[in-house]
A and B are shown apart, each in its own frame.
Chain A
Amino acid sequence: MKYLGGGLISAILLISGLTLGLPLGHMWPTTQIFWQLRVPRLIFALIGGGMLAVSAVIFQTTLRNRYVDGGMLGLASGVELGNALIAVIFAPATPWRVLTGALWAIVWLLILRASMLRILRQPLQLLLGGLGVAMLLNAITTLITSNQGFVGKSLANVTLQDTWLLAIFCVVGIIIWQIAGPTLTYFALPQIHVGQLGIDEKRLSLLWQLGAALFIGAVTAVLGSTFFVGLIIAQVVAQLMTKPAQNRLVVTGLLGAVMLSGSDLLAHSLHYPLELPTGAVLMLLTAPLLLVFWKRGHDVN
């Protein structure tokens, strides 16, 4: 675990150095570009990547289903739809997209908890149900935004306001989880046992999921929906270190930070001056991690 954590921190430092200092178009970054574009973008990628991955661990653990994340449950698609509606109806609110994204995620979480998450208990059912919801919401978003001049999601347009709002929601989520305490371990037990131990699982899962929803909502508002990414990152860490979910949160967050900041570095620099969609590069880079997941899973089985 020490090597894993150390390796990830080294990777973060390397990516950060490259992102901040890399000369693009044969030019060193000016002071203005450095402070107003590169620094907020890097901070967003690092914090956002960690939040994306950590939210997946929370959803997987509290739902006792290792095949879900905020994207697979339809939460990210709900955030995109909500923010698209705001952009169409009340465009001046767009700079507050991280805030509205986090709030939409809370709304969708509460809707899901009152409906799909109550009904669909089997892992595959929940997976298919979540994907169904996501596809439906994506379709509506596409209909609303077609011919409206919306551009693809990328971290290229991250603002300073996006970054400090993201940081605030990161802190809010952590505070909520401090209230929940070191209680993720209870979700390793079947629900009936948790109840018999006198634990109010409903309240506990709400607290954990509220924080996770804030995370996924705030990140998705800028990055767009990402499917499988959080799921895979969370599971790769689970396969690499056999520790309870609570003990995996930090390392999972670090791997998420590496993946998103690394993806954004590539998205920004590979085809400069053209920007590639960061979410697409992230999904492209995450796919090979599936092999680790499958290989380790196969070895265990």
Chain B
Amino acid sequence: MLIKEITLPRNLLQVSQATLPDQQITVLLGPNGSGKSTLLAYLATHLPECAYLPQQNQSYDALSVDDLLTLGQQRATSPLTIDIVTELELAPLLAKQVNQLSGGQQQRVWIAFILLQNAPVILLDEPLNGLDLRYQQRLLQLLPQLKTTILMVVHDLNYAYRVADWIWLVSAATLNEGQPSNIMTTTDLTATFATPVSLHQTVDGAVAFWI
């Protein structure tokens, strides 16, 4: 998918065109304040078919997890082949009120709410917030199985490298995109985050970023 003419307010970012590969995972990287969340919110209003998870989510009234997930499913034109409730281990939480769960549990519920919509494009703003290692790993395994177009903001470079098929790197009002191996170079990452980033590769080819 080709997205043209992205112009964010306050001159945060101006892009003539950017590629969002179909049915692949694109990770949006960039320093704080570079406009990542603003970019996702912008795309959410310009891609009507998308399902967008902002950073902050809350229920404003008594709402059970089951009811919330049912609302999400209502949007799906075809059911998901993957059992999201099982994948994210939400069955024990279904009868509970959303606003009485812990932060990490709520994040899992909101992620499930978005995924159950089975939208052709999914925008996730820092979905790892509050998730412990177990559920970070679950999400890492789950997202590629969805076979849908995903754009997500992630701060963990190692996670980003593992999950991403494509990288958007925003910095200084510009967006660089490409394969992770081409974009996530130590030189570019060090310059983007103004912090020395080194890369270590094991004998079996696994890559680890250190700061």
A contact residues vs B (CB 8 Å cutoff): 61, 64, 184-190, 192-193, 196-198, 238, 242-245, 300
Contacts and interface: CB of A to CB of B under 8 A. Distances in A.
Contacts of B72: 197
Given A185-B67, A192-B52, A196-B51, A242 B62 contact: yes
Given A192-B44, A192-B54, A186 B71 contact: yes
A242 B67 CA distance: 13
Task: Pick the most buried of A188, A244, A245: most chain B CB atoms within 10 A of its CB.
Answer: A188
B58 interface: yes
Contacts of A185: 61, 63, 67, 71
Contacts of A244: 61-63, 67
B26 interface: no
Interface string B130-154: 0000000000000000000000000
A89 to B, nearest CB: 42
Contacts of B68: 188-189
B55 to A, nearest CB: 11
A284 B134 CA distance: 53
B60 A188 contact: yes
Contact of B61 (A192, A198, A245, A300): A245
A118 B196 CA distance: 46
A198 B60 CA distance: 19
B61 A187 contact: yes
Interface residues of B, number: 22
B52 A188 contact: no
A300 B99 CA distance: 10
A196 B75 contact: yes
A190 B72 CA distance: 13
Task: Pick the most buried of A64, A187, A192, A300: most chain B CB atoms within 10 A of its CB.
Answer: A192
Interface in B64-82: 67-68, 71-72, 74-75
A196 B60 contact: no
B31 to A, nearest CB: 25
Contacts of B52: 192, 196
Given A196-B75, A242-B97, A189 B62 contact: no
A188 B62 contact: yes
B24 interface: no
Nearest to A242: B62
B51 A189 contact: no
Given A188-B60, A188-B61, A198-B75, 12 more contacts: A185-B61, A185-B63, A185-B67, A186-B71, A188-B62, A190-B54, A190-B60, A192-B52, A193-B113, A197-B72, A197-B75, A244-B63
Nearest to A243: B62
A192 B110 CA distance: 13
Contacts of B57: 190, 193
B51 to A, nearest CB: 6
Contacts of B63: 185, 188-189, 244
Contacts of A188: 59-63, 68
B171 interface: no
23 contacts: A64-B60, A184-B61, A185-B61, A185-B63, A185-B67, A185-B71, A186-B71, A187-B60, A187-B61, A188-B59, A188-B61, A188-B62, A188-B63, A188-B68, A189-B59, A189-B60, A192-B52, A197-B71, A197-B75, A238-B62, A242-B97, A243-B62, A244-B63
